[in-house]
Structure 1
Amino acid sequence: MDPARPPGPRGHWLMGNAAAYEKDRAGFLRRHHRDYGDVFSFDERIVFTVDPRLAHQVLTATNRDYVTEPAPFAGSSAPGDAGEAARPWMRARRVLRPAVADAAPMVTGMDGRFVAILDDVLDRTAGREAEVLPLMLDVAGRAVAELCLGEDAAGVPDLLAAVNAALLPFEDAGYQLPAWIPSPRNRRFFRVHRRTSETLTGLVRARRRAGAALTPPRDLLDVLLAAGPAMSDGAVTSALWTVLIGGHGVPAAALTSVVRELAMRPDLTAALAHEAARLDEAERPGGGERPGGGGRPGPGRGTDGAGCPRARLPLAEAVVHEVLRLCPPAWTMTRVACAAVDFGRWRLRPGDEVLSIPYLIHRDPRWWPDPDVFDPSRWPAVRPAPGTYLPFGSGPRRCLGAAAALRQLTLAASHIARRFHVRAPDAAAAEPAFCGRLAPAGLRAAFHPVEP
């Protein structure tokens, strides 16, 4: 065991590597991966890894040897204390997991609503060019709010939009001012955080006062309130907050990347539309028009609870997998060591941070043939080794809603291709932006409805 730190760039004598990293994050990581190998130090506290085995090791040891990165202003407690603080969320995960599985009635029941939300948002553009990411944030916000809160979701998507805007400055910056400094971004964050927490707490208390949660549950709030032993209002609110934030920005970033690929690849879009039309035709009773559909392509019987749409839309699912490989929204994943722990040839200290880099792992020719080529045909034949494909993370903190997200992304890719001509002349120039979540920067597109 070599106790020394992994090698890494020395950086500026005062600023270290912060300025170079902020100027070009992807270029910085590529350059130093080439110069130092799969593990390299950023400074005395932070280590990067592009080794899938180490990434998998760290992610699967989370809650034991590591904890997740704290949220802004989460406090300066020791990593061990942070692990203890995660216990309520881990319990909430166990309560929620059956409800958000791919074939769970609550998830399949959202299929039709998700497609309706997607149509509503894109139809409002009336074929005019618009920035795609805000549209997809609207779609994701409305969908996750309904999944969590059902009929009580009104106003919550707007709060999610405000939270997203308040968090962006922290995701873009490589440093964080102390909470006691009344900077504009700090004040804005606390204001939005307080308003959102108060709203969610009010909804939790009102639902609890209304009596026992319905069986079967209508939404995730019902699931949490039905847990035994009972969860406190604070624990339920915190769980809702986590699901809402996780189901907002990340899916929106992935949807934006899906739109970019559809805009750049008309032949692929046509193939997706054909796949969707075939499914629609095969499942249309008597070959007639879908009841109530008015001629508009529908999500198909396989997407309204009778089966998994991914099994019936293999090309759409392959497109989504390839988008998530080349442009994973969670392009880095941070874990903090709770104690001294072995990390390859090195020994990490308590409080050291490990940043695994799925963006580079997913583009490494050792694990992926022609890694920079967008090739949906590699799926589903490919069986990625542990740690080589991490769009949803791994281990005990793997994204709780991974199955539901993959389901909705597959539906979206298929439905947009079937329902719209996507025009984005500058799609190729909309390179991914490397900040909190990876998404095409400034992508603008026009969604022209296909004539029925």
Structure 2
Amino acid sequence: MSQPEQCVRPPGPRGHWLMGNTPAYDADRMGFLRRTHAAYGDVFSFDERTVFVTDPELTHDALARTNTSFLTELAPFAPRPDLAQATAQADAWMSARRTVWAGLNHSAAAAADARTVELLDEHLRTAAESETGVVDLMRSFTAHTIAEYCFGPDAAGIPALLAENLAITEPFTGSSYQFPAWLPLPRHRRFFRVHRHTVETLTGIVARRRASGGGGRDLLGFVLGADPAMPDRTVTATLRGILMGGHGIPAAAYTSIVKELATRPRLAADLRDEAGHGVPAARLPLAEAVVKEVLRLQPPVWLMTRTASAATTLGGWSLAPGDEVLLNPYLIQRDPRWWARPDEFDPGRWLTGQAAPRAAYLPFGAGPRVCVGSALTMRQLTLATSRLAQAYTVESGNAATAAPRFHGRLAPAGLRARFRPVRR
């Protein structure tokens, strides 16, 4: 990548005289990004405070400098934030994630294997007779899975709460232009109402568990047993973040996996052979490869945001405090400079023993804010993929035409499927 001779803003399209690039972007987000990338290269300005990056090394640089030069909690195209407050929140989260990490690693996640399969079967039984909307089905499955993982016997009501949270964010993903939060719009009022209800509900669960002596084999029990003890407010905020991340993101990935199984019967048969009979074994290399390839081609987090916390540079380009850098794993993971046959679905590329291009594979981010639940998510995605192929025949009338939707979490829009139990 050519470097600028001096620290200036990167070039970019001027767009409409009043609305800038927002109308063209919202009309066809990935089409706009592909065209602009071809015209301006790996770094380009979207507007006076937003920069897009599709260079893997610069992407890793921004991710590695998160918590120092960049912040991550901020949404794309939001009004300029309180950077000092956001920095303090980032510091608190880093301390909390160090505590919670051990409760989300491979060995901790393994304890939930049997229940993950049981919950999947319960949900798929509802779609045995007729086609159903896959993304809604998978959202329900992941909501129940992550709710039980976090709260165990106290999980009742949490899946419905997660569904409410997802519903209130979707109106904000369809447009890059957002009205100020202080405007009394119905969607704003609903957003704040659901947010308050969520925090109050989780706060109550944490307080009741603490009052009863803590404990339990779920993530809440693990966190409450930490030494030194975490304040209840921090416990609530930490588990809320894990709930949100463990709901919509895996559901989008499962939806893409279902599409692949529906359109690739040979692959489904190979996965079925690998799983054998009963609950799938712990080592499932083909299922894991399928998951990795789906996350490469259809990363649910197709766009990541970092916000400059102070004046800084990225690849020689100048950034002011509050400027947003939008990192694009979708294009990076389909770039022929880094991947052979980049648009081809080929799980075999993960079975050769050759390492993938490190900087060009970012399904869980990188750096100090890499997804804290990545081990849990990969384990459950792999296990559920194997179970899907082992116990069900996936039939879909629109799998071949269900296109990805670049709003919110990336998944095939409108995918419908029927899950017929395999007769033994």
Q: TM-score range by the shorter chain?
A: over 0.9
SS of 2:364's equivalent in the other structure is coil
> C-alpha distance in 2, partners of 1:364/1:328?
14
> C-alpha distance in 2, partners of 1:90/1:66?
14
CA contact (8 A) 2:296 2:363 kept: yes
2:131 to 129, 146, 159: 129
Query: Could you tell me how far 1:191 is from its partner in structure 2?
Result: 1.6
The 5 Å alignment of 1:267-286 reads 267-277=266-276, 280=277
> C-alpha distance in 2, partners of 1:74/1:229?
36
Q: Give the residue type in structure 1 aligned to 2:413.
A: A
Structure 1 residue 318 corresponds to structure 2 residue 289: yes
The equivalent residue for 1:201 is 203
- Number of residue pairs matched by the alignment: 419
The equivalent residue for 1:352 is 323
Kindly provide the CA deviation profile for residues 189-218 of structure 1, in whole angstroms up to 9, marking residues without a partner as x: 11211111111010000001101x33xx51
> C-alpha distance in 1, partners of 2:194/2:95?
26
TM-score (norm 2): 0.96
Aligned-residue Cα RMSD (Å) equals 1.6
> C-alpha distance in 1, partners of 2:174/2:383?
30
CA contact (8 A) 1:53 1:386 kept: no
SS of 1:428's equivalent in the other structure is coil
SS of 1:315's equivalent in the other structure is helix
1:188 to 184, 190, 209: 190
The equivalent residue for 1:252 is 251
TM-score (norm 1): 0.90
> C-alpha distance in 1, partners of 2:211/2:122?
33
> C-alpha distance in 2, partners of 1:374/1:31?
23
Once the two structures are overlaid, the 10-residue window that deviates more, 82-91 or 157-166, is 82-91
2:335 to 364, 383, 386: 364
> C-alpha distance in 2, partners of 1:225/1:264?
45
Kindly provide the CA deviation profile for residues 292-345 of structure 1, in whole angstroms up to 9, marking residues without a partner as x: xxxxxx324x4xxxxxx2xx2111111000000000000011000111212112
The equivalent residue for 1:285 is none
The 5 Å alignment of 1:137-176 reads 137-176=139-178
Structure 1 residue 445 corresponds to structure 2 residue 420: no
Change (3 A) 1:349 1:72: closer
SS of 2:106's equivalent in the other structure is coil
SS of 2:302's equivalent in the other structure is coil
Identity of aligned residues (%): 55
2:307 to 336, 353, 356: 336
The equivalent residue for 1:289 is none
Q: Give the residue type in structure 1 aligned to 2:371.
A: C
CA contact (8 A) 1:62 1:397 kept: yes
Structure 1 residue 28 corresponds to structure 2 residue 43: no
Structure 1 residue 84 corresponds to structure 2 residue 88: yes
> C-alpha distance in 2, partners of 1:79/1:38?
27
Q: Give the residue type in structure 1 aligned to 2:138.
A: M
Query: Could you tell me how far 1:99 is from its partner in structure 2?
Result: 1.4
Query: Could you tell me how far 1:346 is from its partner in structure 2?
Result: 1.2
Q: Give the residue type in structure 1 aligned to 2:126.
A: R
1:405 to 377, 392, 398: 377
CA contact (8 A) 1:254 1:329 kept: yes
Query: Could you tell me how far 1:163 is from its partner in structure 2?
Result: 0.6
SS of 2:419's equivalent in the other structure is strand
Kindly provide the CA deviation profile for residues 72-105 of structure 1, in whole angstroms up to 9, marking residues without a partner as x: 999954324311111221111101111111123x
